[in-house]
Amino acid sequence: MKKRIRTTPLPLPQDISLLYYRADAPLNRLLLGADNLRYDVHISPGFSKTASEFIFQLILKHADASDPLQTRQKINWFQEGDYFKSACAEVMRDAIKQAKSGAEVQIDYLAQVALAKKLIFEVRKQYEAAINHFKNVIRKHEVARRTEAHLKLREEVFSIIQRRDRILENAGAELFDYFLAERKSLNELRALNFGREALLAEELFSNPLLHAASRPDDFFMMTRYVLLGYRLEDPLNYNTLIEVLRTLFSGGGADTDRIIKSLENMDRLFNFFETQQLLGKEKQGRKPGNERILELRARAAAQKRMLRIVYRQMRREKLMNSIVAAYQVPGVIRHYCPPLSPQELLQFMVTPRARKTIIRKIKRFKKYTGRPISIRRLKKTRHLVRISRHQKKACLVNFLKDFAAYHRDLGNCYLFNETSDCINLVEDEATAKLSRENNTLYEFMYEQEQSEASRAVINHVVIKADVRGSTEIIDRMKAGGLNPASNFALNFFDPINRLLPNYGAQKIFIEGDAVILSIFEHQGEPEKWYGVARACGLSVQIIMAVKKYNRRNVKNGLPGLDLGLGISFSKGAPTFFYDNDSRIMISHSINEADRLSKCDRALRRRIKNNRHPFHIYRYKLDTSGSQGEWLPLNSRGLRYNVMGIELAPAAFAKLCREIHVKKFKGSLPALGIKKFTGYAGKFPTPSGNFQHLVIREAGIPEISPVDFQVTRMTGEKYYEVCTHPGLYEYFRDL
């Protein structure tokens, strides 16, 4: 049955400003990884190697392993610690750089929590590696028949296994001392970039509970905080105490827990001992009516009054003697452990009904081990709680601060575990590759480890070439006993493949009647952010290559290839997945480029023997009358694309951001063009050369579906990448 707490809220003074503790590490604005549940993080392999080697030696150090179990002699810990700290700094600086570049501080949060998770995991992993190492050493002694040495080593390793939790705690604490020192040194850089209010709470990482077992034992609690327990019979039960304090501080409103978690609040509200000391110093050489003296007197009186209320409440709940005894246990535990646990000793000191059971346990221990334990000395421990009321109140102030620290760290431990559970530390290359190419992998690396493959894709451009006439060519070549496969490879696919490196393009999909290419732009590489311009330049070269191929076919009595190209642009990365080793790309740009490359048969029949320098025409069908009702939705826009390159509007807008283009509006008499609107510019190729581009802008007219006569202009525009040599000569002259 749960014990009922009878108390009333503290009358919190209005003139004492309380602090409201807050710690969080939000990641909600980041992209989830390959499993759509966690954030994928890949930490520098160089750092992982350095950390694992350093932690392995830390385990041996805190295990107090003898020389035969050591792997290195005379380690310079100062030097090793500096080396490890510099490794931490390099990875964290990369995270800060990425967070600043992406204007997203949560990238830095992710890196800090991921690094801490990695180190905590590595401590446990290296402990197991150390145990395996010890067992191998023992086996070598067995083979060499060194019986005495072998038995001593077995006893030593057995002791190390028994002390597992303590070794992990101490090694983890020392490891985090190095990590926290370097993390703190970078906080100034973080504050300069993101503001001090954006810094994560120090206690989130300096938390002793991160290195403890799932439920900290009595020795851990005595060393780090104060002797608290969770069992009903434990004199200082955490659940009872937190309920008492929450009720006492309920006058603070909904933020009761945030008030309790601030250690400074305990001093501000109750530590009149400290205030009296300040008052004594202030009185020296000052007049009695001094404003500072009056302020300290008022504060001391308020603190004394509130401490009296809390003291009475603790006595009413019969907790005061337990609080005093909890601070006495560490001083006498060495005489009684074993067989007693610290909680049993605390029970003996404050709980009369538990004493007989504890004395019987000591007698049994003495009977079986022969080790003498003085019952008389044990009984004297009951008198340790008999101190003055003034001393008890001073003890209560310390307890409130220690309890607040534990309550804060316990909440932070839950927060850290919840956050770290959302992080997937990617180790295998297959998962890393999948997540990286879908732009969902956060990588924090050494500078020398960074490569284009690890940089996030921020934009991508797709080129779709719709190849027509390949089937007829293949049939006629087969009929003539020729090899169409080698013909296409040598005269079509190979020339295109040779063009790709010149423009930084990649093959996505190639078949007889479809060629899909892509150009990616990566974060941190602004010198390569010419994706659309290079796609336009590559498309022009593809058209030139096909025209050359067609001229050869005409000479050989074969039909030529008919081609239509479309160029589409998308912000961000496409989606990738893998079928075994085959990478499959999914993007809206592929669908859009596919539409841009098509040619409607109806227009093709009407526009025969096109002798204009342009190869793209767009129309919309007038559906306002009854004649348009029968048309399917997908046929209400018509496109002519024969040996042309159509550029999507979003791609044209991106092109104008990539390079400086000059607009021209007028006639081109030399080419027989009465009305022309276009843009001219040039871009750098990856090889360092420059290539010119001419883009035609034209309006989309609306036409009748009956006779194809223009009824009106829609106001919409389309863009063609021009390929006619005369246009380039004209604009080069300009």
Query: For the chain, what are the domain ranges?
Result: 1-24+220-421, 455-733
The model's confidence at residue 634, banded by pLDDT at 50, 70 and 90, is: very low
What is the rounded distance in angstroms from the CA atom of residue 601 to the CA atom of residue 23?
65
pLDDT tens-digit profile of 482-522? 777 777 777 777 888 888 888 989 888 876 678 899 999 98
Tell me what pLDDT residue 585 has.
87
- Model pLDDT, residue 491: 72
Residue-level pLDDT at 475: 83
pLDDT of res. 593: 95
Whether residue 3 has pLDDT greater than 60: no
Residue 407 has pLDDT above 70, yes or no: yes
Element (H, E) at 641: strand 637-641
Q: What is the pLDDT of residue 96?
A: 93
Average the pLDDT over 37-53 and give the result.
94
Q: State the amino acid at position 235 in one-letter form.
A: P
Q: Across the chain, what does the average pLDDT equal? A: 87
Eight-state DSSP code of residue 613? S
In which band, very low, low, confident or very high, does the pLDDT at 633 lie, cut at 50, 70 and 90?
very low
Residue 526 pLDDT exceeds 90: no
Which pLDDT belongs to residue 106?
A: 96
Please, which pLDDT band fits residue 87 given cuts at 50, 70 and 90? very high
Query: Rounded CA gap, 46 and 449, in Å?
Result: 8
Q: CA–CA distance from 297 to each of 129, 217, 283, 306 (Å)?
A: 60, 42, 11, 14
For 112-125, write each residue's pLDDT tens digit.
Answer: 999 999 999 999 99
pLDDT band at 632 (very low <50, low <70, confident <90, very high): very low
Determine how β-strand 673-684 pairs with β-strand 662-668: antiparallel
Res. 55: pLDDT tops 60: yes
More reliable by pLDDT, 615 or 556: 615
The mean pLDDT value for 35-43 works out to 94
Q: What is the mean pLDDT of residues 148-160?
A: 88
pLDDT score for 288: 62
Residue 11, number of CB atoms within 10 A of its CB: 11
| Of 174-188, 268-282, 412-426, minimum mean pLDDT range | 268-282
Q: Report d(CA 296, CA 286) in Å as an integer.
A: 13
How does residue 637 score in pLDDT terms, banded at 50, 70 and 90?
confident
Residue 253: pLDDT band with limits 50, 70, 90: low
Residue 5 predicted with pLDDT over 70 = no
Tell me the pLDDT tens digit for each residue of 459-472.
999 999 988 877 88
Mapping DSSP to helix (H, G, I), strand (E, B) and coil, where does residue 576 land? Answer: strand
| pLDDT attached to residue 530 | 93
Report the SS3 class of residue 683.
Answer: strand
In the structure encoding, which two tokens stand for residue 698, read together? 């034209």
Please, what sign has the CA dihedral across residues 527, 530, 535, 538?
Answer: negative
CA 328, 333, 334, 336: dihedral to nearest 10 degrees?
Answer: 140
- Percentage, residues of the chain above pLDDT 90: 51
- 567 Cβ partners below 8 Å, 6+ apart? 461, 462, 463, 532, 535, 536, 539, 593, 596, 645, 646, 647, 648, 651, 721
pTM equals 0.70
455-733: CATH topology is: Alpha-Beta Plaits (3.30.70)
Mean pLDDT calculated for residue range 338-362: 88
Alpha-carbon distance of 411 to 417, in angstroms, equals: 10
Q: What are the tokens at 392?
A: 């008890």
Q: Which of 491-500, 629-638, 682-691 has the lowest mean pLDDT?
A: 629-638
Highest mean pLDDT out of 174-183, 311-320, 441-450: 174-183
Q: Which of 37-46, 187-196, 457-466, 602-611 shows the lowest mean pLDDT across its residues?
A: 602-611
pLDDT at 594: 93
- Would the pLDDT of 558 be above 50? yes
pLDDT range class, residue 6, cuts 50, 70, 90: low
pLDDT at 286: 65
Measured CA distances, 564 to 542, 597, 598, 612 (Å): 10, 5, 6, 16
Q: What is residue 704's predicted lDDT score, i.e. its pLDDT?
A: 85
Is residue 627 over pLDDT 70? no
Return the closest-CA partner of residue 473 out of 559, 551, 549.
559
Lowest mean pLDDT among 393-397, 452-456, 578-582: 452-456
The two structure tokens encoding residue 493: 């696919």
Contact 267, 302 (CB under 8 A): no
Calculate helix-pair angle for 147-162, 164-185, nearest 10 degrees. 60
- Measured over the CA atoms of residue 304, residue 307, residue 311 and residue 317, the dihedral's sign is positive
> Would you state the structure tokens that stand for residue 159, as one six-digit string?
């002791």
